[in-house]
């Protein structure tokens, strides 16, 4: 299986006195899709944001491709010690947000090219060729010169996925990528995510869509109040849930 892209052990995270993660493990092996499910407030988005160090955590270890994040300080004062390491990790774990977060003053092509050119300092000509490839892959090659406001929500989210892909990251992190979309637009984004899963991309997916989690995950983690209540392959988590809490959650979301 090789070294996992992301490995987390015993992660604790609090916002002030509110403990949101209470000792969580997560392993994302290369080429696998890990989905995080659970009720609102269970800590799914927080765990995802801890993976790429968008959030600090107070205890526990995070490894990116085997390399442990180095920390300074303790408890609520614990922060990553090495900015260069944070940048390296963050640029290798591209995030797709619920609200797309496209730059409204840039065309779709400029949005997709921005970070590879300015952050990674890649050659603009090469980046443009890649950006057009990724826009074609998500089915919106014809929108390269459009402004974000001219696109539907589903098209904007596909542009955001093209932007994440153009960083050529080691893994993609999705934070409820379909939650802001109408049901018919949701499907076009789901198709893209499934195609990426079939290509063998490493992904971590926070989702309320149990069908999406069931269809494209290798591993599903059910979080409850900051702890892993149950985890396993999707066939077992969805087909034969072991705990009453997971059974209750699944019947409430069905």
Ligand X SMILES: Nc1ncnc2c1ncn2[C@@H]1O[C@H](COP(=O)(O)OP(=O)(O)OP(=O)(O)O)[C@@H](O)[C@H]1O
Contacts 24+ apart (CB under 8 A), 79-82: 80/53, 80/56
Q: Interface residues for ligand X in 179-238 (CB under 6 A)?
A: none
Report d(CA 68, CA 7) in Å as an integer.
Answer: 9
Q: Is 99 in the site for ligand X (CB under 6 A)?
A: no
Owner of token pair 């992660």: 11
Least distance from ligand X to the Cβ atom of residue 45, Å: 3
From 36-44, 75-83, 114-122, 125-133, span contacting ligand X (CB under 6 A): 36-44
Q: Of 43, 60, 148, 177, which one interacts with ligand X (CB under 6 A)?
A: 43
Q: Is 40 in the site for ligand X (CB under 6 A)?
A: yes
Which CB atom, from 38 or from 148, has the smaller least distance to ligand X?
Answer: 38
Q: Of 15, 67, 123, 124, which one interacts with ligand X (CB under 6 A)?
A: 15
Site string for ligand X, 103-142 (x = CB under 6 A): ----------------------------------------
Report d(CA 37, CA 15) in Å as an integer.
Answer: 21
Q: Of 11, 20, 28, 189, which one interacts with ligand X (CB under 6 A)?
A: 20
Q: Of 24, 32, 37, 45, which one interacts with ligand X (CB under 6 A)?
A: 45
Q: Is 46 in the site for ligand X (CB under 6 A)?
A: yes
Owner of token pair 């063998």: 200
Which CB atom, from 41 or from 124, has the smaller least distance to ligand X?
Answer: 41
Report d(CA 130, CA 120) in Å as an integer.
Answer: 14
Contact predicate 13/20, CB 8 Å? yes
The string of DSSP codes covering 92-148 is: HEEEE-TT----TTS-HHHHHHHHHHHTS---HHHHHHHHHHHHHHTT-GGGTTS-G
Least distance from ligand X to the Cβ atom of residue 225, Å: 9
Least distance from ligand X to the Cβ atom of residue 18, Å: 6
Least distance from ligand X to the Cβ atom of residue 198, Å: 26
Q: Of 41, 124, 233, 239, which one interacts with ligand X (CB under 6 A)?
A: 41
Which residues are CB-neighbours of 56 under 8 A, at least 6 positions away?
A: 13, 50, 78, 79, 80
Q: Of 11, 26, 34, 44, which one interacts with ligand X (CB under 6 A)?
A: 44
Q: Of 24, 33, 34, 38, which one interacts with ligand X (CB under 6 A)?
A: 38
Report d(CA 217, CA 213) in Å as an integer.
Answer: 6
DSSP state of 58: S
């Amino acid at each position: 299986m090789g070294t996992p892209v992301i490995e987390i052990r015993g992660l604790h995270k609090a916002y002030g006195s509110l403990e949101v993660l209470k000792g969580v493990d997560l392993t994302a092996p290369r080429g696998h899709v890990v989905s995080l499910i659970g009720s609102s407030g269970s800590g799914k988005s927080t765990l995802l944001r801890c993976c790429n160090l968008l959030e600090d955590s107070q205890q526990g270890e995070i490894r990116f491709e085997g390399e442990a994040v180095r920390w300074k300080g303790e408890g609520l004062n614990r922060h990553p010690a090495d900015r260069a390491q944070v940048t390296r990790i963050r640029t290798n774990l591209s995030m797709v947000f619920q609200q797309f977060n496209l730059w409204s003053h840039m065309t779709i092509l400029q949005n997709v090219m921005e970070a590879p050119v300015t952050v990674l300092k890649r050659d603009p000509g090469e980046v443009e060729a890649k950006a057009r490839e990724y826009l074609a892959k998500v089915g919106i090659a014809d929108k390269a010169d459009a402004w974000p406001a001219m696109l539907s929500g589903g098209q904007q989210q596909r542009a955001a996925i093209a932007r994440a892909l153009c960083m050529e990251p080691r893994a993609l992190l999705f934070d409820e990528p379909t939650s802001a979309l109408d049901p018919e637009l949701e499907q076009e984004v789901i198709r893209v995510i499934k195609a990426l899963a079939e290509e063998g991309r490493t992904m971590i997916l926070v989702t309320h869509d149990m069908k999406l989690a069931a269809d494209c995950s290798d591993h599903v983690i059910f979080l409850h109040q900051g702890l892993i209540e149950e985890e396993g392959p999707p066939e077992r988590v969805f087909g034969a849930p072991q705990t009453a809490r997971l059974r209750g959650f699944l019947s409430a979301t069905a």
